[in-house]
Each structure stands twice: as C-alpha cells, then as structure tokens.
Amino acid sequence: MTKRGEGHFISRRELYDLAWSMPATQAGPTLGITGEQFGNICRALKIPRPGRGYWMKWKANTADPPPALPSASRGVADGWKKGDSTEHGRAWRSEPQPQGPRTFVDFQDSRRLHQLVIPAAKALRNSHPDRHGHYLNPATQRLIDMACSKDGLEKCLRFTSDLFKRLEGPTNGYRVSIAAATKSFIRASIDTATEAAVPGRRGFSPSWRPLRPTVVSVLGVSIGLAVVETSRRTQMRYVGHGRFVVDSGRLEDYVPPTWVETRNVPTGLLRITAYSPFYGVPWQRQWTEKPGKLFSLQLDEIVAGLVAGAHELFLALDEAGIRPG
C-alpha cells in the first residue's frame, strides 16, 4: 500500500487488511504515521491485531488464520483519516466503574430514561453547583451535552430522554450518540441567556461542558445537540456565608456587610440547540420553552426542524467538500 495523502479516508476493512499484512512498525509509515499511532487507531476502531510472536510464526507457516473483523459497535467510527485524534492515543478507553447496589431510583431510571441519559442522571444527582452557584458541575465530562440547575434537573432528564427516544423511535430512526474520538467534531458555544444578545457583550455559558459533542445522525448528516436550562440576568444580593438571594430592592431588609451583583440565574425553562459539529461550516437552530406551555408537545416540531436542518447542512458540507457523517 502506498503512502496515503493528508485527509484521505481509510475504512476499517482497509486498516484491518493492513494490520494483518505487515507489522505495525511497517504499517504505520505507509500511512505517514508511527507504528504506535497505528496501534492507537486500531484499538480505537476495535480492529483486532496480531499478538506477540505472530510474525515469527507467520514466517514459519505455523500462524493461526486472522480473526474476522467484527462489525463496528455503537460509537465506533467506520474509518480513519490522517489527523484524527486517535493516532495520538486520545481515544476513550472503557474503564470499569465501581457499581454500588442497585437502588429503586436505578430501577426507575432504567425503565423511563434513554440509555444515554441514565449515566448523566447518576452523575448530575451527585454533583454540586459550579462557581456561579447555579448550574450543576458533574465530576466527569463523559456525559451527554446537558446543563441545568438542581431544581431543573429531573425535568431536564425526562425531556432529554423523551427527545432521544422520539428521534430513535421506529417512525424516525435517527441515532443519537456521544461522538467517537475518531471524529474531529467541534462543539458550538452554547448560550443560555433568554435576553437578546447585546452588541459587544457575550451571553452566558455554564462552566461545565462535555468532553465530546452529543450528535444525532439525521439522513446521514451528523448534527450536534445540546439541552440546557435557560438563564436570566438577575440582581442578586449577598446575605452572608457565601449565599446570594434575589434582591428585594430594600436595603433595610439585609444585615451588612451586603452588596448586589448581577448574576445569570436559571429560569426552569429549557432550550435545545442544534448546531454544525464541522469546523468551518457554521449552522445553528434553537427551540426554547415558553412559560406555561408543555415543551414535550413540540417534539414533533423539533424533529421536523432537525430533518430540514440536515438538508441545509448537507448542502453547506457538500459545498465545502466535507463528508456529512
């Protein structure tokens, strides 16, 4: 196999054939990378490789036949191109996490929540607010793209689960996943502010963000998804012991020392941001919950908007010469 050029896509099958045709120290340079980087790629894409001593047995015609290439499991990319993060060993590894006894809450979650939402539910319920004092800050970044306050958590979990189930249901069949490390996807800046943007002033984005974007594949086009609780700029007064409350406007209501700060406070209302995860191809669409209206009634409208957005994004990617998946 001749040396591939920058950006040339190579399928899992081609990489598998290469892995079993020569040692990694030779296979890597044919792709313009090192043998160690070639091993990182194979590990990330779940491609079996020869074990220690295989090539000596191969020369002696005593080696066992290569195992079959397994089908790509959920979250595993169908190939690689030069420059993908996996060649530098940044692919996620599956590490067993300690599991406590199964609780009734775990049982309820398994029955009502989407499988991607369950880990987020567990992590967020055990987390504390961030430095701004409102949005939850889980200890891990390996979660779906979701940000909310403690008071808005259960509502956010249920809605996000309903959205994912509607997208993946038999009527639609649009798969939702956390993007694989082999995909060089980017995450858009997610603004939670309910007010219109003021020229020269940036909106508010929670300090926590996922390690990888959450994406939905609609008609073969990958679209980034983020679910957040919106926020509103509110006058908050310091009342001691690190606590702030909504300012009443009456100084006599408080014991000094006290002062007022403008903070972004969660509203209890949700927003979905769909965006282009492709560098250099901007596209974004949002749906925001309105007070007094059930957001789940807009699920069909949101799905239809994502389908329309997939067509728009496909044309933009085609013009930029970028694969949509």
pLDDT digits (tens, 9 = 90+) for 197-227: 444 455 678 888 999 999 999 999 999 999 9
27 contacts 49 by C-beta, under 8 angstroms = no
With cut-offs at 50, 70 and 90, classify the pLDDT of residue 1: very low
**Using CA of residue 15, residue 20, residue 23, residue 26, what is the dihedral sign?**
negative
In sequence order, the β-bridge partners of residue 228 are: 147, 271
CB count in 10 Å sphere of residue 245: 11
The pLDDT score that the predictor gives to residue 137 is 92
Report phi then psi at 36, rounded to 5. Answer: -65, -40
| 44 pLDDT above the threshold of 80 | yes
The pTM of the whole model exceeds 0.95: no
CB atoms within 10 A of CB 102: 9
Between strands 146-147 and 221-240, the pairing is parallel
Residue 86, pLDDT > 60, answer no
- Measuring CA to CA, which residue among 69, 89, 75 is closest to residue 28? 89
